[in-house]
């Protein structure tokens, strides 16, 4: 079935390294994508978003890349810090689903000092 999923359930990096978190989606009708960060016991926090008419968008220390050809989304975190340790979710909005979002399963990012 159609889904939004992540390639790796866990990712461990050293402090100061760059992190790349990947997400695959299968619905070519999706027009909007979001990355969320969720710390333990808290609600998801918006990080960055991108529309389907874009390939790349940058924020503060984060970059989202969208490859529509292979239906792949990635989140890059520069100079990863211990405070970046969390679960990261991608979400997609499908054109046929109104305002609903479909979430991936999440990747646990652990930053080692």
Partner 1 sequence: DGGITQSPKYLFRKEGQNVTLSCEQNLNHDAMYWYRQDPGQGLRLIYYSQIVNDFQKGDIAEGYSVSREKKESFPLTVTSAQKNPTAFYLCASSTPLTNQETQYFGPGTRLLVL
Q: Point out which residues bind partner 1 (CB under 8 A).
A: 32, 34, 36, 41-46, 49, 89, 91, 93, 98-101, 103-106
Shortest Cβ 47–partner 1 spacing (Å): 10
How far is it, in rounded angstroms, from Cα 5 to Cα 27? Answer: 11
Q: Which residues contact 43 (CB under 8 A, 6 or more apart)?
A: none
Q: Give me the least distance between CB of 63 and partner 1, in Å please.
A: 18
Nearest distance from residue 16's CB to partner 1, in Å? 28
Distance CA 27, CA 95 (A): 10
């Amino acid at each position: 079935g159609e889904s939004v999923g992540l390639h790796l359930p866990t990712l461990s990096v050293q402090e100061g390294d760059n992190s790349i978190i990947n997400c695959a989606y299968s619905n070519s009708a999706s027009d909007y994508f979001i990355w969320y960060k969720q710390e333990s016991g808290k609600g998801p926090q918006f990080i960055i978003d991108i529309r389907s008419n874009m390939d790349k968008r940058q924020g503060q220390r984060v970059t989202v890349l969208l490859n529509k050809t292979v239906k792949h989304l990635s989140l890059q975190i520069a100079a990863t810090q211990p405070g970046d340790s969390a679960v990261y979710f991608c979400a997609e909005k499908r054109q046929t689903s109104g305002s609903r979002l479909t979430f991936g399963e999440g990747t646990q990012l652990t930053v080692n000092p």
